[in-house]
Amino acid sequence: MSKTLMYLAAAAVLLAACSSKPGKTRLVGQYEKDAPETVQIVIGTLLDTTVALENGRLDVELPVDVTVMSFLYAGGEQLEFISDGTTLTMDPEEWWITSDRKNGVHGRYTALDDWMSSFIAEYNEAMGGFGEDEDAAVAHYQATIKKMDAHLKETVRANGDNILSILALSMMSDRDPGTLKPLLEGLSATMKADPRILAMMAELDRPSTSEGAPFVDFTIVQDPERPETSTVRFSDYIGKGKYVLVDFWASWCGPCKAEMPNLKAVYDTYHGDRFDMLSVAVWDEVKNTKAAARELGIVWNQIINAQQIPTELYGIEGIPHIILFGPDGTILKRNLRGAAIGKAVKEALGR
């Protein structure tokens, strides 16, 4: 999402004299060049319409629905907004929409986006200053995750009746039921009926996969044409008396590939009688997994064609997701990244 928020000069003049009618959202904007003849606007199931522009001018009233993300499509591009009953201004140059009221739902959406971008920039800048001090880098990473989750939890609590609660919940790193359950219970009846929230609620009834819990087993048929020889279980590798680092990844995932040097270093350093590694390919085509594994030099154990089975069981919403299991299968550390991977393995092995 773009981070430069600028009002169009013409729209700013207009907003000084006009406001949206009660129960309606007003969406305005002015193209100075390369204006499309029409734009498409979609608001959940309420509206799917094409709007004609006159002299590059967009000015339309829309129904209000703060429980969904709305979309404007123009010139092959997509722009997100929340139809919250305020006056919204589209800037075609910056490809962004702002509201005339900061405390409106769309205004809060913009503020959350600003906060996340600033937060990530500060994190990256700080990480660049640690150099070879891995302990400091790991400590900063862990503190950053806690700070981010705290902000997102407050966002959920303050937006229990609108789409921002779902956006914040989806970005949270802490998936522990003890954290999620009170947040979900605090949502409005309308938001609780959203399929994404229903899916999160269903996850709470599944066995816990938080740190300290035992591993949850699953079975994968890696080659449907040879099920009798290609079927494997997670328990073939986990709970067998070794510490096992498991990387859930996919061939198309850039961040997954970026972690491979860290994983290789850990494998080369610690692989032996007490430690092993396993890559589990999810959400991927088998041929692409195999090609990428060869290219990346994955020489440790692999499970392919796992698709969504383990990610649903372990509540994994983004990859790479790296988990360290103990010799008895206990989940020791989750969501390891960067220097934290080697640090966690080193501490577990007592090195």
CA distance 66 to 57: 25
**pLDDT greater than 60 at residue 97:** yes
Identify the helix (H) or strand (E) that includes residue 102: none
* Domain boundaries of the chain, sorted by first residue: 9-99, 128-204, 219-349
The enclosing H or E element of 81 equals strand 77-83
Query: Parallel, antiparallel, or unpaired: how do β-strands 275-281 and 301-303 relate?
Result: parallel
- Sheet strands (E) in 227-290: 231-233, 243-249, 275-281
Residue 11 has pLDDT above 70, yes or no: no
pLDDT tens figures, 261-306: 999 999 999 999 999 999 999 999 999 999 999 999 999 999 999 9
The correct answer on CATH 2.60.40 for the domain covering 9-99 is yes
Cα–Cα distances in angstroms (integers) from residue 212 to residues 323, 325, 332, 339, 348, in the given order: 12, 10, 6, 22, 13
CATH class of this structure's domain 219-349: alpha beta
Token pair for 279: 């890559």
Taking the C-alpha atoms of residue 279 and residue 297, their distance in angstroms, rounded to an integer, is: 12
**What does pTM read for this prediction?**
0.61
